[in-house]
A and B are shown apart, each in its own frame.
Chain A
Amino acid sequence: MAELSLQHIDKIYDNNVQAVFDFNMDVKDGELIVLVGPSGCGKSTTLRMVAGLEDISGGKLFLDGRDITQTPAKDRDMAMVFQNYALYGHMTIYENMAFSLTLRKENPNVIHKKVLAAAEILGLTSQLNKKPAQLSGGQRQRVAMGRSIVRNPKVFLFDEPLSNLDAKLRGATRREILLLHKRLGATMLYVTHDQTEALTLADRIVCMSMGHVQQIGTPLELYDSPANLFVAGFIGLPPMNFYDVKVENGSLHGKGFTVELTDEEKDTLSGYNGKEITLGVRPEDIAEGGSLPVKVFSNENLGMNTLVHGHMGDNNRISAKLRGWTNYKNGDIVNVTFKRKHFFNKETTNAIRKEAR
């Protein structure tokens, strides 16, 4: 299929607002890259620049080694799937899927073969004579994908394609996209603000904030080893708990609580003795049965787990995902322990790691 390379890409609008700063990434052939971040972080702008729908203010974009920075969108051989499907309401599903090829004046028999093949992949064969209004949201999104598939583009671009779907349908369509990616082996760029989509779909995730790339890595890398406070807070649901603590003699001292460090953690923080850092603990890394008392104020049963919200020490908010079904009441005290901790430099907000010393 295709290899995509984004080199020092910037986007500056006419009003001098910079939306994307020095974006660098190499997308391998057949890779599914998810751009994730909050609204306004520049992920859709980046995707639109790749598609050719926005001008690139600085930097270079290469597709299979060919510079396509100034190439018009129609000549880039990329297909984009939009959040709002962008289907033609007066055309049937067949006509919608065939439309781009009809415009290119391809042989009608070839178009027919491609449309039927795409419909077969997407399970839309029985819907081909219907109009978009007669289909569900998930089916319409599949039609939008089908319209891309028939073009056999080098790169597929998805701009928040599941945002208009309800939660159940979103899950099902997400699995379909994943299957589609495996089946086609296509290079795909996928934009979402939903971290669950990012973690489940991506070969690699690009986490963005305020136009800057915060971290590029596999879903596990972003979850297990977040590069900074932003990534740590953005990836993971419920979000990570953060506390300002001081490193002193092999312990972390927060407001009204003390956490003992393991030998390995002491080693990691050996350069920070006497300094303040930020401690991060994922709710799922908190377990019952330690020495840290938590005063419960809310208990949410999720089935396999219970999400307990409370206060620790001097009114430090804490969320803990505890195993099993518990029924803590407001005011109950639960003793917890931190199974795994993340450390961040308070000034730079970057993660503190052994190798980073």
Chain B
Amino acid sequence: MTEERTIKLDRLRYTKNTASSRLVYLAILLDVFFFVSIYKSDVGSYYYNILIGASILYNLIFMLAAFLASEGVKNYKKGYTWLLMALGAIQVARIFIIPVQAHAATITIKKVSYQVMENSQFIRVTLYLALSALCLFAAAVINLQKSNALASHIASLEGQKA
């Protein structure tokens, strides 16, 4: 291992994993953009069903869990990698729940048919969720790599001491 690489690894002992935690903050921000944009296109009472409550509740849980994970990955806690992966997967799944369904749905009011979600809005909210998921996956992968590298570096240091 080169000296550069060793120093880079050793730096992990004293510096935070800000790359991962910042990516998670970005994911939360994109989720907020998604959430404030999704119900803009309400036509009639399309969104007034059980999903609206569930989505609000999930959004709160998402933000809480993501923030918790951001603090965890900042300190190279490996366990939070899996939480970030799960949150990322759910963000992808969310694309197929409200946006895809609303984009496909039409409502007829006074014999005039309206598309619930226009193409432009659909693309925007889908992009928010997809990017949010991407940030979460990237944060998870970076954290996994760094926490593994740090663990093996600490193990080798302890081996040298012994």
Contacts and interface: CB of A to CB of B under 8 A. Distances in A.
21 contacts: A92-B14, A94-B14, A94-B15, A95-B14, A95-B15, A108-B8, A108-B11, A109-B4, A109-B7, A109-B8, A109-B11, A112-B7, A112-B10, A112-B11, A112-B14, A113-B7, A115-B14, A116-B10, A128-B14, A129-B13, A129-B14
Interface centre among A92, A109, A128, A129 (most CB of B within 10 A): A109
Contacts of A129: 13-14
Interface of B: 4, 7-8, 10-11, 13-15
A216 B8 CA distance: 49
Contacts of B7: 109, 112-113
Nearest to B11: A112
A92 to B, nearest CB: 7
A116 B7 CA distance: 11
B78 to A, nearest CB: 18
Contacts of B14: 92, 94-95, 112, 115, 128-129
Interface string A108-144: 1100110110000000000011000000000000000
Interface of A: 92, 94-95, 108-109, 112-113, 115-116, 128-129
Given A92-B14, A95-B14, 9 more contacts: A94-B14, A95-B15, A108-B8, A109-B4, A112-B11, A113-B7, A115-B14, A129-B13, A129-B14
B130 to A, nearest CB: 32
Interface centre among B10, B14, B15 (most CB of A within 10 A): B14
A122 to B, nearest CB: 15
Nearest to A112: B11
Contacts of A94: 14-15
A129 B74 CA distance: 13
Nearest to A129: B14
Nearest to B10: A112
Nearest to B7: A109
A129 B4 CA distance: 22
Contacts of A128: 14
Contacts of A116: 10
A92 B10 CA distance: 16
A128 B4 CA distance: 21
A108 B4 CA distance: 10
Contacts of A112: 7, 10-11, 14
A116 B6 CA distance: 14
A92 B18 CA distance: 14
A128 B10 CA distance: 13
A18 to B, nearest CB: 47
A115 B10 CA distance: 12
Nearest to A116: B10
Contacts of B15: 94-95
Interface centre among A115, A116, A128 (most CB of B within 10 A): A116
Contacts of A92: 14
B145 to A, nearest CB: 17
A34 B8 CA distance: 41
Contacts of A108: 8, 11
A285 B13 CA distance: 58
Contacts of A113: 7
A112 B7 CA distance: 7
Nearest to A108: B11
B152 to A, nearest CB: 18
A4 B71 CA distance: 48
A76 B138 CA distance: 43
A55 to B, nearest CB: 38
A101 to B, nearest CB: 13
A135 to B, nearest CB: 15
B13 to A, nearest CB: 8
A276 B90 CA distance: 97
A115 B11 CA distance: 10
A241 to B, nearest CB: 56
A304 to B, nearest CB: 45
A108 B14 CA distance: 12
A180 to B, nearest CB: 22
A350 B14 CA distance: 57
A95 B14 CA distance: 8
Nearest to B6: A109
Contacts of B11: 108-109, 112
A110 B119 CA distance: 51
Contacts of A95: 14-15
Contacts of A109: 4, 7-8, 11
A128 B15 CA distance: 10
A109 B15 CA distance: 12
A126 to B, nearest CB: 12
Nearest to B4: A109
A112 B153 CA distance: 16
